[in-house]
Amino acid sequence: PPPPPAEPAEPGPGALADTTEVRLPASRAPHAGPGVPVCGSVQHPDGSPVPRAALTLIDIAGQQVGRGASGEDGRYALATPGIGSYVLIAAAGGHQPQAVTVTVAERPVELDVVLGGAGRLAGRVVTADGTPVAGASVTLTDVRGEVVAHARSEHDGAYVLDDLVAGEYTLAASATAFRPAALPLTVQAARETRQDIELAGGAVLRGTVRARGGRPVEDARVTLLDAAGNVVDSLTTEADGSFRFVDLSSGEYTVIAAGYPPVATVLQVAGGGRTERDLLLGHED
């Protein structure tokens, strides 16, 4: 008689039948592949497009992973390596750069970027009565005290500082025969900020001490008093009898020169101007 049919072998431990289907948990599904895009538009604050803006995509390590530019309509699209966090940097001439964090998953990311225009600061350097100060040094410093812009005032006192990032600044101006001045201000993005700055004082008083015969007196002591009688400054004359007081506020002063006897003269000093006065000592040459 024929032998009985052999019984099928039992599968060994861990063996799978041919029809077994292996499924991975959803949490272990593979990451999306490269090419997931970040797209959107580059705009001005008013919503108008910024064409030809440079766009750079970097990863968390700071490595560049994408680069492109916006079209004439401001639209852009950059492919990414896959799921992760990135930084999108947008820049355009005459605008303040912008950096935005973007998180990429399985679907395309729509991201609009707003670029503020560079600010402009303009104004005039003047005296208290509105007289322009030409050739004044105008300096702008940021909140860290670093100089970010510098200019010289024109013949009409006007100055202009361009390509400024919006923020808080200190504006300072100085000129020969004037006291320096400084004031805080805020520069707006994409517009011109107007700010005049006033220089006061800085008057110069000069003259010569002479004996009655007209001879200049060297080493004569000259003292300057203000209207309240306070000593402002004191000095001795040069070999030619000359003296010079600088950086004075406008007002009334008394000049005293030591002699036989001392002489005193009251005079008016105009702010920012130059006053000259000779003093005649009371002894014979």
CATH number, domain at 90?
2.60.40.10
Any idea which of 111-115, 147-151, 227-231, 274-278 has the lowest mean pLDDT?
274-278
Q: Is position 213 within any domain?
A: yes
DSSP for 210-236, please give it. Answer: E-TTS-B-TT-EEEEEETTS-EEEEEE
Q: Quick check: 24 pLDDT over 80?
A: no
Task: Please give the pLDDT value at position 234.
Answer: 94
Q: Is position 191 within any domain?
A: yes
User: Where residue 285 falls among pLDDT bands split at 50, 70, 90?
Assistant: very low
pLDDT in tens, 129-144: 899 999 999 999 999 9
> What range defines the domain where residue 275 resides?
203-280
Q: Which residue has the higher pLDDT, 18 or 61?
A: 61
**Per-residue pLDDT averaged across 76-83, rounded?**
93
Q: Quick check: 152 pLDDT over 80?
A: yes
Task: Please give the pLDDT value at position 2.
Answer: 60
Question: 231 with 269, same domain?
Answer: yes
What's the mean per-residue pLDDT of the chain? 84
Question: 192 with 239, same domain?
Answer: no
pLDDT in tens, 214-234: 899 999 999 999 999 999 999
Q: Is position 2 within any domain?
A: no
Q: Is position 139 within any domain?
A: yes
| Domain limit, last residue, from 114, 136, 158 | 114
Task: Please give the pLDDT value at position 138.
Answer: 98
Task: State what percent of residues in the chain have pLDDT above 70.
Answer: 84
Q: Is position 15 within any domain?
A: no
Task: Please give the pLDDT value at position 20.
Answer: 35
Question: 170 with 209, same domain?
Answer: no
Model pTM score? 0.50
Q: Quick check: 119 pLDDT over 50?
A: yes
User: Where residue 163 falls among pLDDT bands split at 50, 70, 90?
Assistant: confident
Question: 86 with 127, same domain?
Answer: no
**Per-residue pLDDT averaged across 61-68, rounded?**
94
Task: Please give the pLDDT value at position 221.
Answer: 93
Phi/psi at 28 (nearest 5 deg)?
Answer: -110, 15
Residue matched to tokens 């005296």:
127
Q: Is position 53 within any domain?
A: yes
Question: 188 with 208, same domain?
Answer: no
| Domain limit, last residue, from 64, 98, 114 | 114
Question: 190 with 207, same domain?
Answer: no
**Per-residue pLDDT averaged across 249-275, rounded?**
80
Question: 40 with 88, same domain?
Answer: yes
Q: Quick check: 18 pLDDT over 60?
A: no
Question: 38 with 110, same domain?
Answer: yes
Count of structural domains within the chain: 3
Question: 106 with 41, same domain?
Answer: yes
Q: Is position 192 within any domain?
A: yes
**Per-residue pLDDT averaged across 158-170, rounded?**
90
| Domain limit, last residue, from 114, 135, 162 | 114
